[in-house]
């Protein structure tokens, strides 16, 4: 499970780059019950924070990178963003955004892994990250679709010290690898990765990508809200044995995310 007491290598923040901040704020407010708190002024605020029950659950910003798709970015806790950047480059990754301070709040950097999957790190200052996780309307899992599971494990395992445990999906659906932060028990697993061929990664033209999984009380009701608010469904809702009921969703700008009602008991 993801917790708010983030340890090195565990998810601690996420934000969305959207071409239309106001439209994105309205969509996620309708679908997940989030309240948007703008940090800008005037008619075209650059971004802000999403809150659920008064607690920060994610960030929202204007998509400014030319040619980039709207997508969620997941940040992992690190003790030293500069040292992590050096390690990324040594392991064959590339730096998208070099380490930079965000006032006293912390230090961040963004990368591509060697296969092209985008991710980020957060070195906390006064801001430790999201304030609500693993509850309805908040982040509960981080998932990577990659074209080479073995290479992804080698890169991220070397970078963050993650441990992996493999499970075979029902019906010959392939192998799913569960991710646990370094030195922690399996109860603290925070995500998974799965190998898919490039032709199945249509959102990115064949490049690997991370996406968030949000816990919800009723997957079917939430999926209906997604389509009613102008989004679409890539898969589901459907049951995943031992996991729960889930749907892979796209917001109106084609940023992907998953909603999951976990199995009970």
Domains and CATH numbers, the chain: 11-124 (3.10.180.10), 138-262 (3.10.180.10)
What's residue 44's pLDDT?
A: 47
Cα 22 to Cα 40: distance, rounded to the nearest angstrom? 12
Cα Rg of the chain (Å, integer)? 17
Beta-carbon count within 10 A of 229 CB: 16
265 residues of the chain, pLDDT tens digit each: 888 888 999 999 999 999 999 999 999 999 999 999 988 655 445 789 999 999 999 999 998 877 789 999 999 999 999 999 999 999 999 999 999 999 999 999 999 999 999 999 999 999 999 999 999 999 999 999 999 999 999 999 999 999 999 998 877 778 999 999 999 998 999 999 999 999 999 999 999 999 999 999 999 999 999 999 999 999 989 998 888 999 999 999 999 999 999 987 5
Strand 256-262 and strand 244-250: the pairing is: antiparallel
Q: Is 230 left (phi over 0), alpha (psi -120 to 50) or beta?
A: left
| Tokens coding 160 | 């963050």
Q: What is the pTM of this model?
A: 0.95
What integer pLDDT is reported at residue 265 of this predicted model? 57
């Amino acid at each position: 499970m993801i917790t708010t007491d983030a340890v090195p290598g565990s998810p601690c923040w996420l934000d969305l780059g959207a071409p239309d901040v106001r439209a994105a704020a309205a969509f996620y407010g309708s679908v997940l019950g989030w309240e948007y708190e703008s940090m800008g002024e005037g008619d075209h605020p650059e971004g802000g924070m999403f809150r659920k029950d008064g607690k920060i659950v994610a960030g929202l910003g204007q998509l400014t990178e030319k040619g980039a798709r709207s997508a969620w970015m997941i940040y992992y806790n690190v003790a030293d963003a500069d040292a992590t950047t050096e390690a990324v480059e040594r392991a064959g990754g590339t730096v998208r955004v070099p380490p930079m301070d965000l006032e006293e709040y912390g230090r961040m950097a963004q990368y591509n892994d060697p296969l092209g999957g985008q991710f980020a790190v957060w070195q906390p200052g006064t801001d430790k990250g999201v304030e609500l996780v693993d509850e309805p309307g908040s982040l509960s899992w981080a998932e990577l679709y990659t074209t080479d599971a073995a290479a992804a494990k080698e890169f991220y395992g070397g970078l963050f010290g993650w441990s992996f445990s493999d499970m075979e999906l029902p019906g010959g659906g392939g192998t799913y690898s569960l991710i646990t932060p370094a030195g922690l028990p399996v109860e603290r697993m925070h995500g998974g990765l799965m190998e898919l061929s490039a032709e199945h990664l249509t959102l990115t033209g064949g490049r690997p990508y991370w996406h968030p999984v949000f816990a919800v009380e009723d997957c079917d009701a939430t999926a209906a809200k997604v389509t009613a608010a102008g989004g679409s469904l890539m898969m589901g809702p459907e049951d995943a044995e031992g996991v729960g009921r889930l749907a892979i969703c796209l917001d109106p700008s084609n940023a992907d995310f998953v909603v999951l009602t976990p199995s009970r008991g």
